[in-house]
Each structure stands twice: as C-alpha cells, then as structure tokens.
Chains A and B, each alone.
Chain A
Amino acid sequence: MSNKVIHLPRLINRYNQMAGSIRIKKGKDIKMVGSSEKTIIPYSSPDVVAVKPTDFVGIKPKMLLKEGAEVKAGTPLFHEKQNDKILFSSPVSGEVTEIVRGAKRKILEVRILADKETRFEEYGAADPKSLTKEQVTDKMLKAGVWPLLRQRPFSTVADPFGVPRDIYISGFDSAPLGPELDFLIKGQEKEFQAGIDALSRLTKGKVHLATSSQHNGHSVYSGVQGVEKTEFSGPHPSGNVSVQVHHTKALNKGEVIWYTYPQEVIIIGRLFLTGKYDARRRIALNGSMVEKPSYHEVIGGTSLKGILKGNLKEGHRRVISGNVLTGAKVSEEGFLGAFDTQVCVIPEGDHHKFLLTDGWLSPGLKRFSMSRSYPSWLMPGKKYDLDTNLNGEIRSFVVTGQLEQVFPFEIYPMQLIKSVMANDIDKMESMGIYEVDAEDFALCEVACTSKIDIQKVIRDGMESLRMELA
C-alpha cells in the first residue's frame, strides 16, 4: 500500500484548475426581488446625456469646448490635464448645453443636448490584427474610447504608455440583480471579437476572459478567439476583476494589469469595425420599486428620466446607477454612470423600526442577514425586498471573523481596513492593498455588524496611497 495520503478535495481543485475552472468559496449571492425580465426595450435617442469626469478615478479634466459648442458623437469634450492624449468624447451629437461645476470650480458634468439623429465623427475602420500596438492605442485615444480601459492597482484610466502584465475582462456580473451578460451581448459577438483583437495588441501577456455559466455569462463567449478563458463558479464577488486576478495570477507590487468589461469591449470593437464611437449599451433596470423591470438599450451617460418615467412604484425610493453594493445614488433626473450596466431602484429605509415588530429584536423572518442570528438563513432561496436602512448604528469593530466569510482573497480584511484607518502605508502595502479595490469590500460592508463605511475607508486610503506614490 502506498503511504501517501491522497487529499481528495485538493486533487479535485487541481483538476479543475487544469481544466480552466475556479471555484470561489467565500462570498454571498444576495437574492433580491425585482429582477429584470428578459426583454430589451429598444434604443430611443435621449434628450440629454452627461459625461461625468468624476466617474474616472484620478482624472483632472481640462475642457476643449465651451458651452454652446456643436459636437458629433466621438468629438472630444475634454482631456486629462496631465496627459492631453487621453481624450473624453461625446457619446451623442448635439450641443454642449451646460458644464456643471462643484466646489473650487471642479467639473462634475458636461451635459449635451442630443440630436434626434446621431451624427458621428469618422475615425476610419481598420482590422486591429494588422495594426501595431501604437496604432491601436492611437486610434482608441483619438476616438475617446481609451478611458474605457482601466488599470489596477487604483482603478485609474489605463496609462497609454504603460505596459500591462495582462488584460482582464470579467465576462459576467455576480452582483445582486446583476444583468445576465449572455443576454446583453447576444447578437454582438462580432463586435466583441473585434474588441478582443484590438486589446490583444496592447499586451505581451494574455487577455483573460472570465466566464461563468452559473451567473449566465458563458454561452455567448463560446466562439471567442484569442483569449485565455477561465470558468468561475461560486457566489459574488466572483465577478469582480480583483477576485479573478487573485485566483489566476495574483498581482504583485509593481505590476500593473488593465481591465475592462464586455460592453466596453464591444464599443472598442465597433470603433475598429465601423470607425465610429458608438456608445450604445444595454442595461438592466430593476429593483423592487420598478413597475416593469426589464433591459434597455441606451447610450452611455444617458439621462435616466426617459427610462424611469411612469415606470416607478409609489413611495420614497432611491435610484442607484450601478448595483446596490457599489453603485452611486442619483436623482430620478440623474444620469447613467460611465461604466454602469444596471440601474436599480429600491425603497428608502428612512423610517424607524420598532424593536419587536421589525427592529433588532424581532423574529425577523423577512430580514436579510448573512449572520445566522436571524432565522431567515434557514430559507436560502428566499428573495428579499431590501431598503436602504442602515439597520443599526455605527459602532467600534467588535465582531470578528465576519468579513473573512465574504472576502475571497488571501488577505486579512479587518487588519487591512485597520491599517488603512491608521494610514500605515507600509502595512497597507505588505498586507496586499494593491490586489484589491473598494468594490471588493462591498460585501464586507454589508455584513459588518458595526456598520462601518468600509468602501469609503478603502477608497480614501487608496487615494492617499496613490497621491503618495505619484
């Protein structure tokens, strides 16, 4: 008999990895009511769109046009102050009506009144396979699609002169009520492939595409060529880029990867196929406060008024551009965020909850909790109608072991958060802050008994670290 002990789970895991499949164990799929029906409401041109420089981390915009200027789709509006090659273009044709500024004249929004028929700037079609890295970069920069590529660490716009180790594309969305990418991309496989071809010119490493049949981001990629596909399973945040990087080839200090998402790849692909900056994208509109949750084809930065009007339930509600974990609160007349593929509307929770009926001491069959202190954990399939109540007050860190359960990294989340709070840069670096982003802490923030705004802590910490390194 062999005296070697065969470790079965480890063996299975190794086999799965060889087959290009990774199982994420830690995390949580939060099931909510109000998911989108699988119908796409076709594109109708919006009246106003806005390009928000604040959607792009670390961008200081410098305007190229004044209010009143006429633009086409693809006409540059502003560039990054430090690097005038990085242009940001208008997604529609029309007139620049307003430049909304905040404190210290910081540019918050550039609003464009859209034409009924979109006119495009011509950048010329080209086969990316026949272009060099510089030519691809140049074309993307000129048309203003470059900012769709971002880099880690720090999630800033990719540095066009930088050399990424690899490029990562997360091909599925695991967030609560997240759109099904299989459905979103269907029919645009050609554009997707063209985008992949362009991206693969930009790195000497691999273009990684993470897929997941569990999260409905799989079948549509079956014919895609020239990528390293990895199949992921397991709960959210398995769809987050950092998780995918961490479990395929972890990011070391000093390394940079670029990343983007399928719909951005399609926009890049369209540029190479048609020579136009065509910023149409499909988004899911959902949440318990939406009358008819469904998918919509819209333009990036569109005013939400058009799709929300007459489609919301009565009551005090919150409109979120993005998902409920990481999205931004916007007004009902607000605009879609640059990278968002989802708009979620949920009830505001600005009311008191009596302790015994629906408060902290209630039986709580309807209360969602990742802890097992509410009996609702015995009903794993239950869908919840969640509101924005904090469900408690902000407290010191007391409970331990909670964040680790929803944080699929070989990183100690609580200790990393504390080192960020203490602004201990050496500790932050050595404990792995470069491998994560604020969004990876979203579930930790939801789970936290002490109601600490963890994403804000991490975001602020990364920002001060970025300044330190700049």
Chain B
Amino acid sequence: MKFLENLVIKKIRPNFIEGGKFENFYSAYDALETFMFTPDYTTRTGAHIRDAIDLKRTMMMVILAMLPCLLFGMWNIGHFHYLSLGEASEFWPNMFYGMLHVLPIVVVSYAAGLGVEFIVAVKNKHAVQEGFLVSGMLIPLIMPANIPLWMVALATIFAVVIGKEVFGGTGMNILNVALTARAFIFFAYPTKISGEIWINEAGSVDGYSGATALGDLALTVGKAQNLPEVTGIMEKFGPDGMYSMSNSIIGMIPGSIGETSVIAILLGAAFLLFTGIGSWRIMGSMFVGGLTMAWLFNLADANAFMSLPPLHQLMVGGFMFGMVFMATDPVTAAQTNTGKLIYGFFCGVFGIMIRVFNPAYPEGVMLGILFMNVMAPLIDHYVIEANIKKRAKRLKLQTA
C-alpha cells in the first residue's frame, strides 16, 4: 500500500492544500483521502491513545446491517413483479429484476445527498462528515420500488438541506434525515406512497392486487366489520392469506424496498446489537410500546384494523424497520439511557396509534418516529432535571 500512499499523499495532495491548483476543493479531496487512509493525525492534548472506532467505521457497520434488507428487497420486488404478470417467480430472475429497480434508486440517493454534502463542505471549507453514508442507504430502503428517480433526488436534496444542513450538518439535526425524505414525498406526492405498489403496472394480470397489507387495511377504516369487502381483506391476514403471520415475517408481502422481511431486519438488528452500535433500549422499548398500543386497540376492537392481533400488527408495514434503523438514529433519538427507554416506548405507541387512527395514510410509524424526534430533547431535559433535583436534594440534606 506504500505505492498508493505515495501517489495520493505525495503526488495528488499538493494540488489541494493551500497554494495548490485546487485549494478550494480541499474538503472534497480530504473526504476521499480520509476514506482511503485513516489520517496521520496524532493526539495533542489529553489522552495519548484513542479508540480505533471512528464515525466512518460506525456508519459502515450500520450499512452492513442494512444489507440483508437490501438484498431481500431486491428479491421481493422481482417476486411480486413476476407474480403480478402471472409468471413463475424464480430466484435469479427475481434478484436481477429487483437489482435493476433498486440500484438506480441507491445511486440517485447517494449522488444527490453526497452532492449536497460536498457542495456545502467545499463552500464552508469544513470536512465532509459521514452521516449521509447511512441516510443514503436508508432512503432507498423506505421507498416503494416504483418511485420515480427524480422524486428520490428531490426528496433527498430536500432532506439533506432542510432536514440537516440548515441546522448545522451531521450531529445537529432534529429530524431523522431519511424519514424527512420520505415525509417530503408523503406530503408532496401522496399518491406515490399510498401502499399500492403493483396495482397500476402495465401488463399486470386482471384482479391481481399488489397493495401492501396496510394499504388494504386502510380501506377498511370507517366500514363495519361484517361487510363482505372488509371480511375479504381481513381474510388475507388469516393463516392462508397473503398477509399471514408467516408471510409477514418472511417478507412474502409487498412493501417498501427494505421493510418487508422481518427476518432480514432482525438479522440487521442482531448485527447492530452485537457490535453495540444500535441501542437495545430503543429497540426493546419501541417493540414493547408498539405491542402495548396494538394490544389496547385489539381489546377495544372498534374496527377491523384494530382487530388485527397485536404481534401481527407489528410484523406488517414499516414498524420493524423503523424500530431497528430509524428510531435508533443516535442524533435524533433521546440521548440519555432513561430517555431512550421513554422515547422508544412512545415511538411504538404513536407509530401504531397514527397507523390505526389515520385513514388517509396507511403507515404511521414514520410520523410516530418523527414526532418523537421532536420530543426527544424534552424527554432528555426532564431526565437530566431529575438528576439535578437529586443532587440538590442531597445538598439540602447535607446543610439541614
């Protein structure tokens, strides 16, 4: 690697440092150099040794954790595409077809987002921080496969500029960047994320519905539970139906690219917990929160949506994906350990509550997490206030 080091550091670098031909683009060069080489910076004050972990490693671990979801998403797209055509679903054609759909979205998401990051960094002459490495992969995974690429680009640019850069960049944002991108599409182009992925595809066989589980469920809202159309939809959630428990867990249901397979998501979760990068507090408490809310609804049983068994409720839609990859974003989640438990619990509660109560839109987890993103600093505030009060009380006891 000495050869590469010599080439980069000795030959290319001088062009970008002060006085070089492209000195204005130092930030961009620096991002690429530090990508290839952990730099030669040494400690100056304080501890002389430092942990091997850095933000790049952390972000890469999250990307690795998302790979099962990405790969399964590709297969899933191919699978439903061929089903909708009435053709046989086979592994390699599925993967190939899915890849053709997913890779462009990934490329567009990274290009748009990193483009903004590099421009801002070069303009403000600061380093490119690594936050977008994860957002850039998260955004495709929460998009439906048939999303137009220009929409992905627009949403990504909006999310990075308005969601992050205006607050000061990586580490300063209040809302999860990827969810901001999805929320942008949700409000700007609602028909594109309506939960009906394959229905309008040209050439699909008659009567084939490629709606997502939640898209179907949303149709039942406001209707009596014993209407034939409602019971028809609810049958799909039965043991032999399309959205059966086992299909939902394996991921044999339509949905956004990365959210369908609970198994793939749990593989990612296991990796995040094993490496210690994902917070078990948030994941665990969000699961409990969602389960609690779904259970309460199930007790109330006021409509067909509520009658879905609690665990099944969590296995469909974006709940599991949001729990593992979105709610756990350390920047926008609560930062104290106690706060994380509270934050996660209410992410789950609000996720399910919005999902069930909002007939206009079939998925509430996104809004639930975004809402709790806003609330997270408040939660932390009270957690810390409690610590401050405890200290004040100790002082009082001492002087009393």
Residues of A within 8 A of B (CB): 30, 176, 250, 252-255, 318, 320, 324-327, 329, 346, 348-355, 357-361, 364, 367-374, 386-393, 395-401, 404, 410-412, 414-415, 430-432, 438, 442-443, 445-451, 453-456
Task: Evaluate whether A445 and B275 lie within 8 angstroms (CB atoms) in the complex, with A354-B37, A364-B52, A412-B336 already known.
Answer: no
From A351, A442, A446, A451, contact of B54 by CB (8 A): A451
Instruction: Tell whether, in the assembled complex, residue A432 and residue B391 are in contact, meaning their CB atoms are under 8 Å apart.
Output: yes
Judged by a CB distance under 8 angstroms, whether B228 is at the interface is no
- Chain B's closest residue to A411 (CB) is B387
Residue B92, interface by CB 8 Å: no
Is the C-beta of B188 less than 8 angstroms from some C-beta in chain A?
no
Q: Which of A324, A358, A361, A415 contacts B380 (CB 8 A)?
A: A415
Whether, in the assembled complex, B360 has its beta carbon less than 8 Å from a beta carbon of chain A, the answer is no
With A360-B56, A373-B276: A354-B131 Cβ-Cβ less than 8 Å: no
Whether A396 pairs with B170 at a CB distance below 8 angstroms is yes
> Which B residues are CB-close (under 8 A) to A367?
52
The answer to the question of B311 belonging to the interface, with a C-beta cut-off of 8 Å to chain A, is no
CB-CB under 8 A from B21, the residues of chain A are: none
> What is the distance, in angstroms, from A48's C-beta to the closest C-beta of chain B?
25
Residues in B with CB closer than 8 Å to A346 are 48-49
Cβ-defined contact, B50 with A395, below 8 A: no
> CA of A13 to CA of B115 in the docked complex: distance in angstroms?
55
| Chain B hits for A250, CB < 8 A | 394
Which A residues touch B35, using CB under 8 A? 355
B279 within 8 A of A: yes
Of B55, B380, B390, chain A has the most CB atoms within 10 Å of the CB of B55
Q: How far is the CA of A393 from the CA of B170 in the complex (A)?
A: 14
Contact between A361 and B55 (Cβ–Cβ < 8 Å)?
no
* A449:B55 contact, CB within 8 angstroms: yes
Q: Could you name 28 residue pairs across A and B whose Cβ atoms are closer than 8 Å?
A: A252-B394, A325-B47, A326-B46, A327-B48, A346-B48, A354-B37, A355-B38, A368-B51, A371-B276, A372-B277, A373-B275, A374-B53, A388-B42, A389-B41, A390-B41, A391-B38, A391-B54, A392-B53, A393-B127, A395-B170, A395-B171, A398-B131, A398-B330, A401-B335, A411-B387, A431-B391, A438-B46, A448-B51
Residues of B within 8 A of A432 (CB): 387, 391
Taking CB atoms, residues of chain A closer than 8 Å to B60 are 360-361
**Known A252-B391, A398-B330; further 6 A-B contacts with Cβ < 8 A:** A352-B5, A352-B40, A355-B35, A388-B43, A398-B131, A442-B47
Give the interface centre of B34, B36, B391 by most chain A CB atoms within 10 Å: B391
B216 to chain A, nearest CB (A): 38
**Cβ-neighbour of B38 out of A353, A386, A388, A411 (below 8 A):** A353
Known: A373-B277, A410-B387. A391 touches B52 (CB 8 A): yes
CA distance A458 to B268 in the complex (A): 37
Tell me if B124 is interfacial: C-beta within 8 Å of chain A. no
Contact B46 A360 (CB under 8 A): no
- Given A253, A368, A388, A450, which contacts B395 in the complex, CB threshold below 8 Å? A253
B388 in the interface (beta carbon within 8 A): yes
CB of A450 within 8 A of CB of B276, answer no
Q: Flag whether B250 is at the interface (Cβ < 8 A).
A: no
Secondary structure of the A contact surface, majority rule: loop
Residue-wise, chain B 207-218 has the 8 Å CB interface mask toward A (1 for contact) of 000000000000
Q: Give B residues with C-beta under 8 Å from A.
A: 1, 4-5, 9, 34-58, 60-61, 127, 129-131, 168-172, 274-277, 279, 330-331, 333, 335-337, 340, 380, 383-384, 387-388, 390-392, 394-395, 398-399
Expressed in whole angstroms, the minimum distance between the Cβ of A99 and any Cβ of chain B is 26
3 nearest CB pairs, A to B: A392-B54, A396-B171, A367-B52
CA distance A320 to B399 in the complex (A): 43
CB pair B53–A324 under 8 Å, yes or no, is no
Shortest distance from the beta carbon of B10 to any chain A beta carbon, whole Å = 11
Does A401 lie within 8 Å of B38, measured CB to CB?
no
Q: Establish whether residues B45 and A391, one from each chain, have CB atoms under 8 Å apart when the complex forms.
A: no
A395 to B331, CA, bound (A): 13
A368, B41: Cα distance in complex, Å: 17
Tell me which residues across on chain B come within 8 A of A388, comparing CB atoms: 42-43, 48-49
Q: Is the CB of B391 within 8 A of A350?
A: no
Output the residue of B58, B279, B383 with the most chain A CB within 10 A.
B58
Given contacts A326-B47, A368-B52, A446-B50, contact A430 B391 (CB under 8 A): yes
Q: Are A446 and B51 in contact (CB under 8 A)?
A: yes
Residue ID in chain B nearest A373 by CB atoms:
B275
Residues of chain B with a CB closer than 8 A to A370's CB: 51, 53
Contacts of A455 in B (CB 8 A): 45-47
Tell me the smallest distance from the CB of A232 to a CB of chain B, in Å.
Answer: 21
Are B51 and A369 touching (Cβ within 8 A)? yes
Distance in angstroms between the alpha carbons of A390 and B276 in the assembled complex: 21
Residues of A within 8 A of B171 (CB): 395-398, 450
B394: chain A residues at CB < 8 Å are 250, 252
| Inter-chain contact B57/A373, CB cutoff 8 Å | yes
Contacts of B392 in A (CB 8 A): 430
Verify A393–B54 contact, CB threshold 8 A. yes
Residues in A whose Cβ lies below 8 Å from that of B53: 369-371, 373-374, 391-392, 447, 449
Say whether A410 contacts B390, CB under 8 Å.
Answer: yes
Complex: how many Å from CA A253 to CA B151? 57
B389's nearest neighbour on chain A, judged by CB, is A430
B38, A392: Cβ atoms closer than 8 Å: yes
Q: Which residues of B contact A442 (CB under 8 A)?
A: 46-47
Q: B54 contacts which chain A residues (CB < 8 A)?
A: 360, 391-393, 395, 449, 451
Nearest chain-A residue to B333 (Cβ)? A400
Residues on B with beta carbons closer than 8 Å to the beta carbon of A176: 49
Given contacts A352-B39, A393-B41, A410-B390, contact A320 B58 (CB under 8 A): no
B388 touches A324 (CB 8 A): no
The answer to whether A349 touches B40 (Cβ under 8 A) is: yes
A149 to chain B, nearest CB (A): 23
The CA-CA distance from A21 to B38 in the complex, in Å, is: 44
Residue ID in chain B nearest A455 by CB atoms = B46
Q: Looking at the assembled complex, report how far the CB atom of A459 sits from the nearest CB atom of chain B, in whole angstroms.
A: 8
Chain A CB within 10 Å — which of B47, B335, B384 has the most?
A: B47
In-complex Cβ contact of A395 among B5, B36, B55, B275 (8 A): B55
- With a CB–CB cut-off of 8 A, which chain A residues contact B384? 412, 415, 431
A357 touches B1 (CB 8 A): yes
- Distance of A327 Cα from B43 Cα, bound (Å): 12
Q: Which residues of B contact A326 (CB under 8 A)?
A: 46-47
Using A401-B340, A451-B54 as known contacts, say yes or no to A372 and B275 having CB atoms under 8 A apart: yes
Contact status B57-A360, CB under 8 Å: yes
CB pair A373–B50 under 8 Å, yes or no, is no
Residues of B within 8 A of A451 (CB): 50, 54
Q: Which of B61, B337, B390, B391 contacts A373 (CB 8 A)?
A: B61
Distance between B110 CB and nearest chain A CB, rounded to angstroms: 17
Given A359-B38, A398-B170, A412-B387, verify A445-B46 contact (CB < 8 Å).
yes
Q: Of the candidates B39, B41, B48, B335, which one forms a contact with A329 in the assembled complex, judged by CB atoms under 8 Å apart?
A: B48
